[in-house]
């Protein structure tokens, strides 16, 4: 079997290399990082889930100033609404952390999470963003029709064969198959069946999905170099999506203390936790996770837990205190590099994959 780096996926998305930058909401994603990956021949993606609609518009326009190449924007699709069931218990535990950071305590029962999806989606359509990618759910039919009518491409992140088949049936153009090694949130949307996410390893997940859907599969989770990309293609994927590998890129918005924690971490450092957001996610274990786990308190449902912990994460970010930040990371962090641009990272990965596949 001849494995090539110029997969059908490249043709379909108008890109040179089958290398996708994960949208990484909450700081690491920048227009510069997105544009650099696209300019280098991959597909850059802006993680826009937590951005206000007009900020997304400005970021999309900035990306277009930096590159004429295709790029994507990633949003979360989920059931909106807040969980006020155990607010007091949760806030009193979080107040201990606030005290440690020297920020005001909160009794907050009036928590209201922003729900921008409708407007965010509208902006993507109005700005004709070439690729829309989604996590945590699949687009309802009416939205899918709008995407198709606008002639845009759409990619879903999935974590099981069942989710992959649902995405294909809904009209998605491609699938990101996210293995359990992946950094950040689990994309699982059959979450009632998997409260901590479906955690199937990349090696087992990719061929099983590739055998059962006819749309292209993009492998994600623990892929850090050309070896990982080549392996993904051999397993039946037509491309790879990398998040963690780009967190230490020069153009990433990753906070300095987060960068330090990443570079000091290894394959034993990360855990799956719901402590920060109420949804399972992989990140480097720190004091926040430790304290929360020791409390024995169940987190509120997403997005409420994310909203109530935001002031803590923001203060920790300002104070460069990595103990109270969400340090999302995958399991491949020994392969991270310092001071490389996204272009250099893409080139290194592609050279290595080319050498292997020749
Ligand atoms: C810091 C960080 C933030 C992430 N944020 C998002 C996001 O906003 N949307 C999304 O679909 N995936 C997000 N992911 C998950 C990626 O899409 C992808 O599945 C993952 O990065 C692949 O594993 P890797 O980190 O080992 O490369 C994030 C990952 C990281 C590391």
Crossing angle of helices 287-295/87-101, nearest 10°?
Answer: 140
Specify whether 155 is located in the same domain as 196.
yes
Q: Which residue has the tokens 């802006």?
A: 46
- Can you give the pLDDT at residue 350? 98
Q: Is 243 in the pocket of ligand 1 (CB under 6 A)?
A: yes
CATH code: domain of residue 54: 3.20.20.70
- Can you give the pLDDT at residue 108? 76
| Euclidean distance between CA atoms 332 and 286, whole angstroms | 18
Specify whether 161 is located in the same domain as 244.
yes
| Euclidean distance between CA atoms 49 and 56, whole angstroms | 9
- Can you give the pLDDT at residue 110? 82
| Most ligand 1 atoms within 8 A of CB, residue of 176, 184, 197, 255 to mutate | 184
Specify whether 229 is located in the same domain as 270.
no
How many angstroms is it from 136 CA to the middle of ligand 1? 12
Specify whether 146 is located in the same domain as 206.
yes
Specify whether 271 is located in the same domain as 230.
no
Specify whether 139 is located in the same domain as 222.
yes
- Can you give the pLDDT at residue 38? 98
Q: Is 241 in the pocket of ligand 1 (CB under 6 A)?
A: yes
| Euclidean distance between CA atoms 48 and 262, whole angstroms | 22
Q: Is 223 in the pocket of ligand 1 (CB under 6 A)?
A: yes
Specify whether 244 is located in the same domain as 270.
no
265: domain range?
82-111+255-333
Q: Is 49 in the pocket of ligand 1 (CB under 6 A)?
A: yes
Specify whether 304 is located in the same domain as 247.
no
Q: What is the mean pLDDT of each run of 10 residues along the chain (358 residues)?
A: 91 98 97 98 98 98 98 95 93 97 88 94 98 98 98 98 98 98 97 95 98 98 98 98 98 98 98 98 98 97 96 97 98 97 98 96
- Bridge-based pairing state of the strands 174-178 and 153-158: parallel
CA 350 to centroid of chain Cα atoms: 22
Specify whether 168 is located in the same domain as 295.
no
Q: Is 178 in the pocket of ligand 1 (CB under 6 A)?
A: yes
| Euclidean distance between CA atoms 267 and 244, whole angstroms | 12
C-beta atoms surrounding 195 within 10 Å: 10
Specify whether 154 is located in the same domain as 188.
yes
Specify whether 42 is located in the same domain as 181.
yes
C-beta atoms surrounding 108 within 10 Å: 16
CB under 8 Å to 131, separation ≥6 — which residues? 13, 43, 45, 70, 71, 72, 73, 152, 153, 154, 155
- Can you give the pLDDT at residue 2? 81
| Most ligand 1 atoms within 8 A of CB, residue of 23, 28, 34, 183 to mutate | 183
CA 335 to centroid of chain Cα atoms: 19
Contact present, 200 and 179 (Cβ < 8 Å)? yes
Specify whether 107 is located in the same domain as 236.
no
Q: Is 278 in the pocket of ligand 1 (CB under 6 A)?
A: no
- Can you give the pLDDT at residue 202? 98
How many angstroms is it from 220 CA to the middle of ligand 1? 8
| Euclidean distance between CA atoms 10 and 15, whole angstroms | 5
Q: Is 330 in the pocket of ligand 1 (CB under 6 A)?
A: yes
Domain count, the chain: 2
Contact present, 242 and 22 (Cβ < 8 Å)? yes
| Euclidean distance between CA atoms 116 and 239, whole angstroms | 30
> SS3 sequence, the chain?
CCCCCCCHHHHHHCCCCCEEECCCCCCCCCHHHHHHHHHCCCEEEEECCCCCHHHHHHHHHHHHHHCCCCEEEEEECCCCCCCCCCHHHHHHHHHHHHHHHCCCCCCCCCCCCCCCHHHHHHHHHHCCCCEEEEECCCCCHHHHHHHHHCCCEEEEEECCHHHHHHHHHHCCCEEEEECCCCCEECCCCCCCCCCCCCCCCHHHHHHHHHCCCCCCEEEECCCCCHHHHHHHHHCCCCEEEECHHHCCCCCCCCCHHHHHHHHCCCCCCEEEECCCCCCCEEEECCHHHHHHHHHCCCCCCCCHHHHHHHHHHHHHHHCCCHHHCCCECCCCHHHCCCCCCHHHHHHHHHHHHHHHHC
How many angstroms is it from 111 CA to the middle of ligand 1? 26
């Amino acid at each position: 079997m001849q494995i090539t780096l110029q997969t059908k996926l490249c043709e379909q998305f108008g890109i040179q290399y089958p290398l996708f930058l994960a949208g990484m909401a909450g700081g690491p994603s920048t227009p510069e990082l997105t544009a650099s990956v696209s300019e280098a021949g991959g597909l850059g993606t802006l993680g826009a889930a937590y951005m206000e609609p007009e900020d997304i518009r400005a970021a999309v326009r900035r990306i277009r100033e930096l590159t004429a190449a295709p790029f994507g924007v990633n949003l979360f699709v989920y059931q909106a609404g807040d969980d006020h069931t155990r607010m007091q218990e949760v806030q009193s535990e979080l107040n201990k952390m606030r005290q440690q950071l020297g920020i005001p305590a909160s009794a907050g029962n009036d928590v209201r999470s922003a729900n921008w999806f409708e407007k965010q989606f509208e902006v993507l359509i109005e700005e004709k963003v070439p690729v829309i990618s989604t996590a945590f759910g699949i687009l309802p039919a009416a939205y899918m029709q709008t995407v198709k009518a606008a002639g845009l491409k759409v990619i879903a992140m999935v974590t099981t064969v069942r989710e992959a088949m649902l995405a294909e049936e809904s009209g998605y153009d491609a699938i990101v198959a996210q293995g359990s090694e992946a950094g950040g949130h689990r994309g699982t949307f059959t979450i009632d069946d998997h409260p901590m996410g479906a955690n199937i390893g990349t090696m087992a997940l990719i061929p099983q999905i590739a055998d059962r859907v006819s749309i292209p599969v993009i492998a994600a989770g623990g892929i850090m170099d050309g070896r990982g990309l080549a392996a993904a293609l051999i397993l039946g994927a037509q491309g790879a999506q990398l998040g963690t590998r780009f967190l230490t890129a020069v153009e990433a918005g990753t906070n300095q203390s987060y960068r330090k924690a990443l570079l000091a971490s290894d394959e034993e450092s990360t855990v799956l936790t719901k402590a920060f957001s109420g949804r399972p996610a992989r990140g480097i274990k720190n004091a926040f996770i430790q304290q929360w786990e020791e409390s024995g308190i169940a987190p509120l449902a997403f997005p409420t837990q994310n909203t109530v912990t935001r002031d803590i994460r923001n203060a920790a970010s300002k104070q460069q205190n990595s103990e109270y930040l969400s340090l999302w990371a995958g399991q491949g962090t020994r392969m991270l590099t310092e001071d490389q641009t996204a272009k250099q990272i893409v080139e290194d990965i592609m050279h290595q994959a080319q050498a292997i596949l020749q």
